[in-house]
Amino acid sequence: MESAARQAGNAANKPSRLAAAWKHMKRDRQLLILFIPCLAFYLIFRYGPLYGLLIAFKDYSVFQGIWDSPWVGLKHFEKFFGGNDFALLFRNTLLLGFLTLICSFPFPILLALMLNEVRMKWFKKSVQTFSYLPAFLSVVIICSMIIDFLSPTHGIINQLISAFGFEPIYFLGEKAWFRPVYVISEIWANMGYESIIYLAAIASIDPTLYEAARVDGANRYHMMRHITVPGIMATIVVMFILKTGSMIRVGYEKVLLLYSPMTYEVADVFSTFVYRKGLLESNYSYAAAVGLFEALVALVMLLAANFVSRRLGGRGLW
């Protein structure tokens, strides 16, 4: 009898839930209309191409198409895992992503905290404008600037080195210098733009907390340590989880523009390997298998980072 009564209650609540959902949709219709382009973007450019992942399990032929190409199962994955490229690519990708995450993640937070303490508006706006500029430049322009700055003949960095009596350094041609150059350029290019997120989080902190701390005799350092940093900790955790998930997916654009055959040993990553195999050598199935493996590793790292964050700090993306 209880189960029958519960089913009757659920049946009675179902129309009311649908009516409530329709009421909310009707109330927020303007926001939903604004959301349509975002939804369309993800459906077309994110979920639509997932059909093409089938070629990772086929010997894809342009003339036969995706569906009519013969199935080969895990042939391309076995070839990749059993080859000499896997260990090199995995090491380079993981190391470059890890160094970028660890070295570049704190800088936007520190910049936001320092800008929040600045009281001269003209100086604060000037620093913000200067730090935001690289975010509005394309990767090609950024890499062109890096190449010019580090040129062994006329680059400003090597001119300074020569002025102190040292030999010029071919930064982009020496394996030992590629990772430091990449990480430092990432810090320079993204620090200002990413600090906007933390500045917005700081702006949402209740001002009365600062007033109460000031009355109790706290100085600016104490307020930053005990109010500002805990107030943006949730944002820091979310950003760290997102960046951990994308750590393995090192963007191929900058690496592709900065590396050379002399630095392949330390610079070649999954994304550049996929580019060479897929677009330059037309080995689409093999490249799709490598790209799918990269995406799965990124997903595992994202889930692991979220799990660890929830276990240690009680915060996560979900």
Which DSSP state fits 98? H
| Residue positions counted in the chain | 318
**Residue 51: CB partners within 8 Å, gap ≥ 6?**
66
How large is the average pLDDT for residues 273-286? 88
Would you tell me which CATH number, out of the four given (3.60.40.10, 3.40.50.2300, 1.10.3720.10, 3.40.50.300), belongs to the domain 74-313? 1.10.3720.10
Helix or strand or coil: residue 246?
coil
Q: What is the predicted pLDDT for the residue at 298? A: 83
Q: Is 251 helix (H, G, I), strand (E, B) or coil?
A: coil
Report which DSSP code applies to 247.
S
Domain spans, the chain: 74-313
Give the separation between CA 214 and CA 222, rounded to whole angstroms: 10
Beta-carbon contacts of residue 234 (< 8 Å; ≥ 6 apart): 201, 315
**For all residues of the chain together, what is the average pLDDT?**
85
> Is 163's pLDDT higher than 50?
yes
What is the percentage of the chain residues whose pLDDT exceeds 70? 93
> Taking the complete model, does pTM exceed 0.75, yes or no?
yes
pLDDT of residue 37: 92
pLDDT score recorded for residue 13: 52
Between 89 and 261, the higher pLDDT residue: 89
Residue 106: pLDDT over 50: yes
Non-local CB neighbours of 44 within 8 Å, separated by 6+ positions: none
Query: pLDDT confidence of 123, banded at 50, 70, 90?
Result: confident
Phi then psi for residue 74, to 5 deg, are -95, 20
DSSP-assigned letters across all residues of 105-133: SHHHHHHHHHHHH---HHHHHHHHHHHHG
**Separation of alpha carbons 231 and 211, rounded Å:** 15
Measured distance CA(281)–CA(290) in Å, rounded: 14
CB 52 within 8 A of CB 288: yes
Confidence tier at 6 by pLDDT (50, 70, 90): low
- pLDDT score for 16: 77
Instruction: Tell me the one-letter amino acid at 307.
Output: F
Quick one: pLDDT at residue 1? 46
**Residue 146 to residue 168: CA distance in whole angstroms:** 16
Which among 197, 226, 192 has a CA at the least distance from the CA of 209? 226
pLDDT at 3 over 60: no
Residue 27 pairs in a beta bridge with: none
**Rounded-to-integer distance, Cα 46 and Cα 302, Å:** 18
The pLDDT, as a whole number, for residue 108 is 93
Helix 233-245 × helix 175-203 angle, to 10°: 150
Confidence check: pLDDT of 198 > 90: yes
Q: What is the pLDDT of residues 20-64, one digit of tens each?
A: 888 888 888 888 899 899 999 989 988 888 888 888 898 988 888
- Tell me which amino acid residue 144 is: S
- Nearest partner of 95 among 239, 233, 270, 242, judged by Cα: 270
CA separation for the pair 30, 36 (Å, rounded): 10
Cβ count within 10 A of residue 185: 21
Spatial separation of the C-alpha atoms in residues 306 and 311, rounded to whole Å: 9
Question: Is the pLDDT score of 15 beyond 50?
Answer: yes
Residue 186, pLDDT above cutoff 70: yes
Segment 136-154 mean pLDDT: 87
Find out whether 145 and 159 touch, Cβ atoms under 8 Å: no
